[in-house]
């Protein structure tokens, strides 16, 4: 049977004018490609709607992804502790050990995790805060030194000196807005 330049045969699919045979699988793949191209075109054309839809889907799926990641991360040390504290031969001997192996391993891993979080929050973060305070003080001492060095090196070139003044004015303005001394605003003087 011939329709619109294409020959249709009962068992083998569609045969084009050039004699190429299109099987049902090839036709299905072409349809999928056309649908994918149309969806891609719509997503690019209406990208605001596509991003909003994608954001909504991610918002719904994120808790499941986070839960899976936590389970995966905690599963490795939990299996290690379970195998070390409750070997297989002891689990076979006592039904109580078999039932308690997983929960006890989970509790130990959670205690270790919260211990690490506690150490980071109450030991590392204050040190990090002190480091940033010291860095701010060092930066405040650094800019006057740079200013005097630039004046020594480029004192004969007016263009560079004007550019230096504008750059230092911007830097001092940024530092005046960002750097605080122990919670109190301390402006820099040029």
Q: Which residue from 73, 102, 67 is spatially nearest to 85, judged by alpha carbons?
A: 102
Contact by Cβ (8 Å): 119, 125: no
Domain containing residue 167: 46-185
Look at residue 175 in the predicted model and tell me its pLDDT: 66
Same domain, 6 and 54: no
Q: Evaluate whether residue 190 is within a structural domain.
A: no
Same domain, 5 and 93: no
Same domain, 72 and 137: yes
Average pLDDT over residues 156-175: 76
Same domain, 75 and 91: yes
Per-residue pLDDT of 24-77, as tens digits, reads: 888 999 999 999 999 999 888 888 888 898 899 999 999 999 999 999 999 999
Q: Evaluate whether residue 156 is within a structural domain.
A: yes
Per-residue pLDDT of 118-141, as tens digits, reads: 988 888 888 888 888 888 788 778
* pTM for the full predicted model: 0.45
Same domain, 55 and 20: no
The residue with greater pLDDT, 57 or 3, is: 57
């Amino acid at each position: 049977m011939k329709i619109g330049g294409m020959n249709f045969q009962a068992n083998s699919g569609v045969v084009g004018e050039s004699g190429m045979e299109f099987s049902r699988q090839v036709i299905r793949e072409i349809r999928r490609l056309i649908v994918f191209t149309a969806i891609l075109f719509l997503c690019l054309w209406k990208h605001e709607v596509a991003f909003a839809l994608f954001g909504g889907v991610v918002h719904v799926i994120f808790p499941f992804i986070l839960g899976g990641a936590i389970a995966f991360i905690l599963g490795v040390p939990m299996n290690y502790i379970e195998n070390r504290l409750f070997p297989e031969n002891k689990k076979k001997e006592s039904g109580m050990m078999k039932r308690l192996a997983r929960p006890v391993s989970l509790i130990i891993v959670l205690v270790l995790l919260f211990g690490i979080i506690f150490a980071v929050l109450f030991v590392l973060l204050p040190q990090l805060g002190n480091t940033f305070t010291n860095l701010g003080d060092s930066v405040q001492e650094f800019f006057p030194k740079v200013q005097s060095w630039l004046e020594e090196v480029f004192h004969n070139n007016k263009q560079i000196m004007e550019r230096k003044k504008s750059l230092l004015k911007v830097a001092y303005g940024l530092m005046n807005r960002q750097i605080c001394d122990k919670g109190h605003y301390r402006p820099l003087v040029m």
